């Protein structure tokens, strides 16, 4: 699956409020990875955006491991580790507050430019063509157009640390948005 494309410009979204209400009514917090429920709730509370999709990111070390496992990378794990990307995809309103939020999100990759990307993945714009879709993802740059990657242990540990910093940065951004 293609996961990355450069950020698109805002477009008029006449049904934004109705689409936001529909998305929030369908939001099932029990289906969200537990460690990021607070992040999704935080963005849901902002009137100028709503979540389209998200994932905490998963490190799969054996064929029999649950692909949605939240287990950390085990110390000293031999062999390759399958990493399923961490990401947050949002629809952002074409409004002054929405523009500020988009700019704030665009700065998040500075925490690790080789691993964090901001853009407008085309698979979101195909599913929701009238939306201003933006996504942040945690994925080594050489895999940025894939939804998973096979990583050596050392790189998996580094990506895991970046993923944790990424969600911490989103929590900081949410606190700033509320003030």
Could you read off the pLDDT of 69-103 as tens digits, one per residue? 999 999 989 999 999 999 999 999 999 999 999 99
The angle that helices 37-44 and 153-178 make with each other, rounded to 10 degrees, is: 30
Q: pTM of the prediction?
A: 0.93
Q: Using the predicted structure, report yes or no on whether residue 29 has a pLDDT greater than 60.
A: yes
- 91, 49 Cβ separation under 8 angstroms: yes
Distance of CA 48 to CAs 70, 75, 102, 155, Å? 30, 41, 10, 36
For residue 139, the model assigns a pLDDT of 95
Do the domain assignments include residue 158? yes
Do the domain assignments include residue 83? yes
Phi, psi at 82, each rounded to 5°: -80, 125
- For the chain, the domain total comes to 1
Do the domain assignments include residue 5? no
For residue 3, the model assigns a pLDDT of 61
Do the domain assignments include residue 155? yes
- 139, 115 Cβ separation under 8 angstroms: yes
Do the domain assignments include residue 10? no
Do the domain assignments include residue 1? no
CB environment 156-165: b (16+ within 10 A), e (fewer): bbbbbebbbb
Do the domain assignments include residue 102? yes
> How sure is the predictor about 128, in pLDDT bands with cuts at 50, 70 and 90?
low
Q: Which domain holds residue 46?
A: 16-178
For residue 124, the model assigns a pLDDT of 65
Q: Compute the average pLDDT of residues 129-152.
A: 90
User: Residue 53 is part of a domain; what is its CATH number?
Assistant: 3.30.1960
Do the domain assignments include residue 62? yes
Whole-number percent of the chain with pLDDT over 70: 94
């Amino acid at each position: 699956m293609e996961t990355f494309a450069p950020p698109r410009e805002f477009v008029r979204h006449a049904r934004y409020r109705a689409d936001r209400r529909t998305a929030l009514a369908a939001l099932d917090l029990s289906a969200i990875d537990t460690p990021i429920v607070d992040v999704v709730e935080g963005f849901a509370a902002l009137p100028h955006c709503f979540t389209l999709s998200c994932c905490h990111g998963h490190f799969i070390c054996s064929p029999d491991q649950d692909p949605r496992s939240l287990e950390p990378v085990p110390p000293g794990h031999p062999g390759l580790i399958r990493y399923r990307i961490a990401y947050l995809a949002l629809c952002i309103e074409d409004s002054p507050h929405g523009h500020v939020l988009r700019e704030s999100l665009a700065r998040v990759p500075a925490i690790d430019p080789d691993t964090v990307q901001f853009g407008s993945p085309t698979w979101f714009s195909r599913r929701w063509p009238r939306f201003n879709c933006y996504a942040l993802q945690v994925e080594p740059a050489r895999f940025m157009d894939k939804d998973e990657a096979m990583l050596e242990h050392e790189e998996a540990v580094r990506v895991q640390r970046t993923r944790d910093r990424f969600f911490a940065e989103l929590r900081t951004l949410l606190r700033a948005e509320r003030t």
